[in-house]
Amino acid sequence: MNDQQRADLKQRILAEIVKLENYAASLEGKVNPVAPDVAIGRLSRLDTMLNQGINESALSQSRQRIGKLQRALARMQEDQDFGECMECGEPIPIPRLLALPETELCVECAE
């Protein structure tokens, strides 16, 4: 990976982190439980609880991905071998890194 590709990937990771942080912030208000004294119908309460569970899952996944991207960014800054498969040592194709910058394995080793 050349310096320009590394810089482009770094910008892409930073942009993805910002996007995910904004998404996570928008979900945080949607995962608060509905107080039992709030007057809504039984079906509306069940629907709200279902949506709350979906939003909690999405929030958890977003936070996990943010952590993975932050670790990838740290690896990129610390390790000159960033972009090489951790298992076989071959370069990870740039399109794969652009799609999944947090990946540590090439396609063959990931399968």
- Residue ranges per structural domain of the chain: 3-82
State the pTM of this model: 0.79
Residues, the chain, total? 111
Tell me how far CA of residue 32 lies from CA of 22, 51, 55, in angstroms: 17, 11, 10
**pLDDT tens per residue across all 111 residues of the chain:** 888 999 999 999 999 999 999 999 999 877 776 555 555 666 676 777 788 889 899 999 999 999 999 999 999 999 888 999 999 999 999 999 999 999 999 999 999
- Phi then psi for residue 91, to 5 deg, are -65, 135
Amino acid 105 reads L
Amino acid 26 reads S
